[in-house]
Structure 1
């Protein structure tokens, strides 16, 4: 499969309000070229029964060793975290499909690391050929033929599904991704390790809503959890990192930035850029923040770039969106912080 082509999302999101508040923020991203926004809803996640639908780990490992049968995630070059999931056997083979008349949708694989829930969707129909979808009025790219998509867990909608074409080698395959919140904002209920998502999809020109039952199984392989309470101070202010969670797919950091005047006026546009030990910037996904008079606390999620010995955290003032590539003149001087990570196992 060729490199997953991703362009900036159609939306940009408002900065945090200039008063104490908690706000969800999903970065406009270059990684996935489409987004389906649905109304934000409280996520009530209880214990769910994890039913069949997954191939056993032993079978999945065997399948991965057979050419052209292994995970398609391993061919995604634009997202190193998803590629690592495919290469390390963290993707689950599933068989979840629905059909209507002569149109069939099949979910073939999923990846879930506790933060990112990703699935591959194959579309088969007489009006779909080489990645083009004939709506009856015009032929459009398959990735442009999604009229709407809703992602539900336990009947509650979870906002912000991103999707894109899987590439020229698999033109009738789409990649769907949702960056899930860490907890329910009202109930503080942890998202279960195993759950089923109800995914509702409408295609252009088809008066029907496809309802998919997609099983997700969290991988616990090679996960790092740290509470370093590391900090760095300068005459500009201070940076504290209180929590670090790293999986092969996603990296999560909880940080607090305090700034003195006049920099405090820029707090609503202040975020962190994260780099691995090779100097690669981790692509920002989303996060929630609390803005106070002279500080901002942020729970941010980033795409992992592979095994790394440490992370470099650098506060900056964003201009477009907080997932941008950061120039030197955007960094806040003197607040760079290094977080050493324990060794990760060789796969």
Structure 2
């Protein structure tokens, strides 16, 4: 005998079918390039623009349950009661957990963050800071929007409202920590949050490029002008380093290829971020702008690679020296050894603003084997 399903059971069954049968479009290259455009990934000062984005949309199944849950809840396929129950699932309300950054997901799962829940409100718009993370290499601030009913500021992505972001640390402008007498500045950028009402503000110090390190504990004030609102939003946030015993190595090993002298200066491992600092030196009177756009891949001893999430680089007055910090997602555990591969992207001959793609739609890159590093890691 079939027992009739309760209304809430029918909703669960309907939700399960929807999850199984609904594909989700994930524009991976677009998302990555959006981050590069916003990240201040100034490998050097030779250009302020990036090549036109090449689209490669991939259809994935809805096994990514969190994304599907957010889609289903947000589009009203289930009752408010069921939606409220789903939002109680651990991590469903965490901006860090749903941002697509393994390090920030780890911070949420391991409690390596703070939850200040501070906010400011003007003209029916509230900007709040529900989550903060600082691991010594990057500061991540979750920003969330809430609006009153009928507000003019409820539409579109939260990032479209923000016209600028000003930062100060303990009352001093954040660029008081940048290298003095240079144009190398600390540039905040935003990445996608869990939905249109959230974003994540990130920035790093430039201690590896001649600046000062951020204190382990400081008061951060963010000032956010919003178009159409006279008074800027201002939130003061206590920030404290959330990780301990970060592993920092200074191997100072070098490789040479033609006129390129590449030095690996520092590697920093935290539970949230892996950062490598490199220095390229060309012959005197040469210019960094003569080089192709160089990037790095990072692998452990098993060949597992880490995703690049950001970074910054600077060359004084387009000189012959380029110092770069490249930030990757964290290793799950400290590897026995790492390999760093240097490469350049290949661009289309007929259009230098677009990447050359292989038959599978992947970007074609060219490695420089003589600029490769492999070194053991001593814990």
Q: 1:164 to 1:251 in 2, by over 3 A?
A: closer
The equivalent residue for 2:68 is: none
Contact 1:81 1:304 in 2 (8 A): yes
Contact 2:274 2:331 in 1 (8 A): no
SS in 1 for 2:103: helix
If you compute each CA radius of gyration, which structure gives the higher value, 1 or 2? 2
Q: 1:148 to 1:289 in 2, by over 3 A?
A: closer
The equivalent residue for 1:336 is: 372
Cα deviation for residue 209 of structure 1 reads 0.7
Cα deviation for residue 111 of structure 1 reads 0.4
Paired residues for 1:243-322 under 5 Å: 243-257=266-280, 268-269=291-292, 271-277=294-300, 278-290=303-315, 296-307=321-332, 308-309=334-335, 310-318=337-345
Cα deviation for residue 338 of structure 1 reads 1.3
> 2-side partners of 1:110 and 1:204: how far apart?
25
> 2-side partners of 1:293 and 1:142: how far apart?
35
CA displacement 1:119-175 (0-9 Å, x = unmatched): 1122222157xxxx734xx9433332223221222331444222244224xx53322
Cα deviation for residue 312 of structure 1 reads 1.8
> 2-side partners of 1:152 and 1:266: how far apart?
32
Q: 1:127 to 1:116 in 2, by over 3 A?
A: farther
The equivalent residue for 2:98 is: 76
> 2-side partners of 1:294 and 1:122: how far apart?
41
Q: 1:218 to 1:252 in 2, by over 3 A?
A: same
Unaligned runs of 5+ in 1: 31-65
> 2-side partners of 1:202 and 1:293: how far apart?
33
Contact 2:294 2:343 in 1 (8 A): yes
The equivalent residue for 1:34 is: none
Match of residue 146, structure 1, among 162, 182, 185: 162
Contact 1:13 1:26 in 2 (8 A): no
RMSD of the alignment, in Å?
A: 4.2
CA displacement 1:247-301 (0-9 Å, x = unmatched): 12222223234568xx988764353403132442431522334479996442313
CA displacement 1:74-111 (0-9 Å, x = unmatched): 62362111112212221112132222353322211100
TM-score computed with the length of structure 2 as normaliser: 0.61
Contact 2:344 2:365 in 1 (8 A): no
Q: 1:298 to 1:271 in 2, by over 3 A?
A: farther
Q: 1:26 to 1:305 in 2, by over 3 A?
A: farther
> 1-side partners of 2:200 and 2:288: how far apart?
39
The equivalent residue for 1:162 is: 189
Cα deviation for residue 176 of structure 1 reads 1.6
Q: 1:295 to 1:316 in 2, by over 3 A?
A: farther
Contact 2:43 2:313 in 1 (8 A): no
TM-score computed with the length of structure 1 as normaliser: 0.66
Q: Which moved more, 1:191-200 or 1:8-17?
A: 8-17
> 1-side partners of 2:125 and 2:288: how far apart?
54
> 2-side partners of 1:115 and 1:75: how far apart?
19
Q: Which moved more, 1:7-16 or 1:270-279?
A: 7-16
More strand, by proportion? 1
Unaligned runs of 5+ in 2: 1-23, 54-87, 176-185, 348-354
Contact 2:345 2:365 in 1 (8 A): no
Contact 2:343 2:367 in 1 (8 A): yes
SS in 1 for 2:117: strand
The equivalent residue for 1:179 is: 204
Contact 1:27 1:285 in 2 (8 A): no
The equivalent residue for 2:110 is: 88
Contact 1:97 1:104 in 2 (8 A): yes
SS in 2 for 1:274: strand
Q: 1:197 to 1:335 in 2, by over 3 A?
A: same
> 2-side partners of 1:338 and 1:306: how far apart?
16
Paired residues for 1:44-63 under 5 Å: none
Q: Which moved more, 1:209-218 or 1:286-295?
A: 286-295
